[in-house]
Chains A and B, each alone.
Chain A
């Protein structure tokens, strides 16, 4: 069997100026082909105006086991949300 093509993660920015969003992955021999393939696989219906491709091997991800350590500290900090502070009804524009 020939050498397998590396895996790339694909990110697309949709029409309305939003950030690039992960849409899926694909195989391609190099970055240029990865962009070409991403065009065919992920934008057949005007899904985007810009494509990013990143080698899957280059992505560093948090591990599910670290979920507690990473995300629990923010659970107790409800005061970071504006709804934590009830405002009197007669006070406007806040």
Chain B
């Protein structure tokens, strides 16, 4: 998802016999639905996994601003431009909530950003695809933010207090993102044949990458099994993906657009849609850094950070000068 294939560093799911007394008490609290807070005792692997998961999530929010930034100056109307700016500002806010949550685990935001900028930390594969037309702003809000909501709503109930509270804030704001996207798609789908074709083209390009966002099947993954036990992952990748397909197909039908999957078909027995094979080689290739925009995204991000350095430093110098004056007075 926004955090894909998060490592726990463990080879096997921890059993009661592996656990120390402290760890057993910790697991019992989680099983009882009691939130873990920053200062509570926690196993090192839980802490490290959460740092990875939350920072990856935060990085995705921050890098996720870049594909949309591409269209701010070219939005079709002032109203659409204001809405897009507000959405992008929300993404920055979501990144900040999440960095704060990660910082409660004993890492600093600047350390996490340094890991992003060096290419060591990952962010969601989805943001390495280009935004070629205005319709992509619609498809991203509808499909990408739609998928994010499906992933994030369960995380509001996750075991780590600061993460769950950040998710609650994010989810409250996220449905604006999905709706403004669908609104763009509706306007295009009801427009001229060329506009409708733009909407269809955007759906064609974003559909499969959106399904890949949930990550490969994790039915046999030790990392996922351990994360579920810790309640920092509440549903499997396949369950969440199925939910996304089931809720999105009728929305596409309403728009009069076609999902680009010849194998997509309603399965009355399962009460769900069956859908075609996902090209996981593409996903792994994007994760490895070879997606269409990986290099450009990172370059833009690093440039923004480096170009802003003199300003961040100036603010510190100003604060120190004021402080010194106050002390002298």
Which positions in A face B, CB cutoff 8 Å? Answer: 1-5, 7, 24-27, 29-30, 33, 40-41, 44-45, 61, 63-64
Q: A4-B108, A41-B93, A41-B96 are in contact. Are A64 and B312 (CB under 8 A)?
A: no
Taking a contact as CB atoms under 8 Å apart, the answer to whether B309 and A45 are in contact is no
Q: A1-B110, A7-B103 are in contact. Are A29 and B315 (CB under 8 A)?
A: yes
Does B325 reach chain A (CB closer than 8 Å)?
no
Chain B residues, CB < 8 A from A61: 39
Pick from B137-145, B225-233, B257-265, B316-324 the stretch touching chain A: B316-324
Q: Which residue of chain B has the shortest Cβ distance to A33 in the bound complex? A: B315
Does B17 reach chain A (CB closer than 8 Å)?
no
Main secondary structure of the interface of A (DSSP, over half): loop
Taking a contact as CB atoms under 8 Å apart, the answer to whether A29 and B319 are in contact is yes
Taking a contact as CB atoms under 8 Å apart, the answer to whether A24 and B89 are in contact is no
A-B contact pairs, 19 of them (CB 8 A): A2-B309, A3-B313, A4-B110, A5-B312, A24-B97, A24-B165, A24-B169, A25-B103, A27-B109, A30-B318, A33-B315, A40-B93, A41-B97, A44-B86, A45-B173, A61-B39, A63-B39, A64-B37, A64-B39
Main secondary structure of the interface of B (DSSP, over half): helix
Q: Give chain B's interface residue range (CB within 8 Å of chain A).
A: 20 to 34
Taking a contact as CB atoms under 8 Å apart, the answer to whether A2 and B312 are in contact is yes
Does B115 reach chain A (CB closer than 8 Å)?
no
Q: Which residue of chain A has the shortest Cβ distance to B86 in the bound complex? A: A44
Chain B residues, CB < 8 A from A1: 110, 114
Chain A residues, CB < 8 A from B173: 44-45
Taking a contact as CB atoms under 8 Å apart, the answer to whether A26 and B100 are in contact is yes
- Least CB distance from A5 to B in Å reads 7
Q: Which residue of chain B has the shortest Cβ distance to A62 in the bound complex? A: B39
Taking a contact as CB atoms under 8 Å apart, the answer to whether A44 and B97 are in contact is no
Taking a contact as CB atoms under 8 Å apart, the answer to whether A2 and B313 are in contact is yes
Taking a contact as CB atoms under 8 Å apart, the answer to whether A3 and B316 are in contact is yes
Taking a contact as CB atoms under 8 Å apart, the answer to whether A2 and B316 are in contact is yes
- Least CB distance from A58 to B in Å reads 14
Complex: how many Å from CA A51 to CA B45?
A: 37
Q: Which residue of chain B has the shortest Cβ distance to A42 in the bound complex? A: B93
Chain B residues, CB < 8 A from A33: 315, 319
